[in-house]
Amino acid sequence: MSDLAETLFLKGNKVNLAYFNEGGSRTLDTAVVKKLNEVCEFAPDIQCYILDPNTSVKTYLKAESLWLSLFLVVCGAFKAVADFLVSIHRFLIRFKVKYLWPDRLGGEVTEQSTKPASLLYRFLIENLYLIALYGRNLQLFRSELQNGRFDAAIIPEDVVGSVWPLFIKAAHEVKIPVLVLPYTLAGQDEAVQSLKSESLFQSRNNRIASKLFPKWRWQADGLDLVRLPSGHIFAHELFGVTPPAPWLMNSGYANAICVDSQASYEYFANLGIPKSKLCVTGSVSQDHLFAQKAVKGQALAAFTKSLGLVGNKPLLLISGCPNQLAGKVPYCEFSDIEELAQHVGRALEPLRDTYHVVVRPHPNYLEFGDLMRPFGIPSTMIPTSRLVPLSDLFIGFASATIRWAIACAVPTVNYDVFHYCYNDFGNADGVVTLTESSAFISTLAALKPTDEMYADLKKKIERNAKFWSYLDGGSADRIQAAIEFECSKDAAIRTSS
């Protein structure tokens, strides 16, 4: 979004770039602060700031909702009574165990019957807190958009939760259109894969919400999930921000969704996003790809020199692997990220005589660059979108950056090492998707520039590039036109179709 802000500013727009820090300043990512400072240095007239809630949920409750405050008092009284009854019950259990039938119970104190009161209290408080959180955020967004006198708002995604649905609602209340410029491709499968092992998202732990609001529930292949825990579901319904398809990103009430290619258009349309909301504009990152590709020879020479690389070789770029093994994944042959990195490093060794091999670590796991260094592979923090056009072979790990490689007609290996099995690039000619370590090793060994397999991939991806991109340097103009078109309408219509 920072690149987009800079581009729109250079086209003569007044631009505000805001980062919503829902967690409070203590949890603020230092990388965000650094990026905002960089934008301000590039264009001092762009107003960059952190939108940090200065009102706690508790203060919001007291100030805005008397009935909610009274409800808190009732809940507190309920807890006091429940705690007293639990104490009495525990005493009676211990008395019976010790004096009446110690042999029958084996001296074990069971407290199963004390759970209902505690669970009910926790249910009430947790749901109340989330409803209040949503109310506070909506109030904050409404105030910010009213005071700013904005003509349009641009966001990177419209996904369920306590931010974007409320932001869109607040914008529509003050008659501001909202445009989404998606940063990734994501369908329902991604959400299911990421939540299927999480206890908070199991329907059995959200029975009331899953029964009252079935569109939030997913039942298939032995799974029974909810898209969000019950408190979030209740809050969405209460504030009227539930999208028609909660499991589908960008299915909400934004006025337009500006996608980067015909491939992305068909991807979202096939998932069920109304075609009336979709428009193909390209992206600012594609304009960067276009400009960089035009000076590939000169830029590549300068880049390799900056890394101390010697010789006139093509570039093999690795889009760094995030450490998904820190959580749960469907399956992985490796026990930890260090073992995976060693496998990748060894698999690349046959290509180091042919290519300059460089890794651009994932923003969420910069340590991957350090793990590649023992194999003689340097790392860089230059943005991936600046490096892909300089490459002749690209390796991604089920990454959205693969779209850039297709756009630049760079043969690509998509190593789905965590077995997510997303089908985002299943129809992309010139992209080889692999899941097994042995296939990864053998495929890389056959991808020297003089190999037949490489030449075949190169031909296929060159034919496919136009379908996956709008690489003509005019994306910024089309985005500007889309914004002006939405602003030209009499009102920001709130509709999901």
CATH number for 319: 3.40.50.2000
Whole-number Å distance between alpha carbons of 361 and 353: 22
Both structure tokens of 52 = 């940090």
- Reported confidence tier of residue 335, pLDDT bands at 50, 70, 90: very high
Q: How many helices (H) and strands (E) does the chain have?
A: 20, 13
Burial environment of residue 3 by CB neighbours within 10 A (0 to 12, 13 to 18, 19 or more): middle
Whole-number Å distance between alpha carbons of 117 and 252: 37
Residue 193 is given by DSSP the state H
* Residue 27 predicted with pLDDT over 50: no
Radius of gyration of the chain (CA): 27
User: Given 129, 149, 164, which residue is the final one in a domain?
Assistant: 129
- Reported confidence tier of residue 275, pLDDT bands at 50, 70, 90: very high
User: Given 112, 129, 146, which residue is the final one in a domain?
Assistant: 129
429-451 pLDDT per residue, tens: 899 999 999 999 999 999 999 99
Comparing 60 with 215, which gets the higher pLDDT? Answer: 215
**Same domain assignment for residues 16 and 137:** yes
In a domain, 108, yes or no: yes
Alpha-carbon torsion angle 193, 194, 200, 201, nearest 10: -40
**Same domain assignment for residues 46 and 111:** no
Q: Is the pTM of this model over 0.85?
A: no
Domain count, the chain: 3
Give the pLDDT of residue 259: 95
* Residue 106 predicted with pLDDT over 50: no
In a domain, 494, yes or no: no
**Same domain assignment for residues 353 and 450:** yes
Q: How many CA atoms lie within 13 A of 425 on its CB side?
A: 30
In a domain, 316, yes or no: yes
In a domain, 493, yes or no: no
Rounded alpha-carbon distances, angstroms, from residue 467 to 117, 127, 159, 386: 58, 46, 26, 21
3-class state of residue 235 by DSSP:
helix
Closest by CA position to 243, among listed 285, 271, 201: 271
**Same domain assignment for residues 382 and 446:** yes
Give the pLDDT of residue 84: 65
Give the pLDDT of residue 104: 46
Phi, psi dihedral angles at 195 (to 5 degrees):
-105, -15
- Reported confidence tier of residue 119, pLDDT bands at 50, 70, 90: low
**Same domain assignment for residues 300 and 436:** yes
Q: Specify the CATH number for the domain of residue 161.
A: 3.40.50
Least confident of 104-118, 203-217, 321-335, 348-362: 104-118
Least confident of 67-76, 96-105, 140-149: 96-105
Question: Which distant-in-sequence residues (6+ apart) come within 8 Å of 201 by Cβ?
Answer: 195, 225, 226, 227, 228, 229
User: Given 129, 161, 181, which residue is the final one in a domain?
Assistant: 129
Both structure tokens of 307 = 């890394």
Whole-number Å distance between alpha carbons of 232 and 237: 9
Whole-number Å distance between alpha carbons of 462 and 468: 10
Q: Do residues 124 and 74 lie in contact, with contact meaning Cβ atoms separated by under 8 Å?
A: no
What percent of the chain clears pLDDT 90, i.e. is strictly above it? 54
Whole-number Å distance between alpha carbons of 261 and 390: 21
In a domain, 425, yes or no: yes
**Same domain assignment for residues 261 and 391:** no
Closest by CA position to 269, among listed 282, 421, 277: 277
Phi-psi group of 271: left, alpha or beta (phi > 0 → left; psi -120 to 50 → alpha; rest → beta): alpha
In a domain, 447, yes or no: yes
In a domain, 496, yes or no: no
**Same domain assignment for residues 316 and 226:** no
**Same domain assignment for residues 219 and 317:** no
Comparing 197 with 441, which gets the higher pLDDT? Answer: 441
**Same domain assignment for residues 8 and 117:** no
Q: Do residues 246 and 238 lie in contact, with contact meaning Cβ atoms separated by under 8 Å?
A: no
* Residue 291 predicted with pLDDT over 60: yes
- Domain of 293? 286-468
**Same domain assignment for residues 252 and 120:** no
**Same domain assignment for residues 311 and 431:** yes
Whole-number Å distance between alpha carbons of 24 and 229: 22
- Reported confidence tier of residue 22, pLDDT bands at 50, 70, 90: confident
**Same domain assignment for residues 296 and 192:** no
In a domain, 318, yes or no: yes
Both structure tokens of 25 = 């300043």
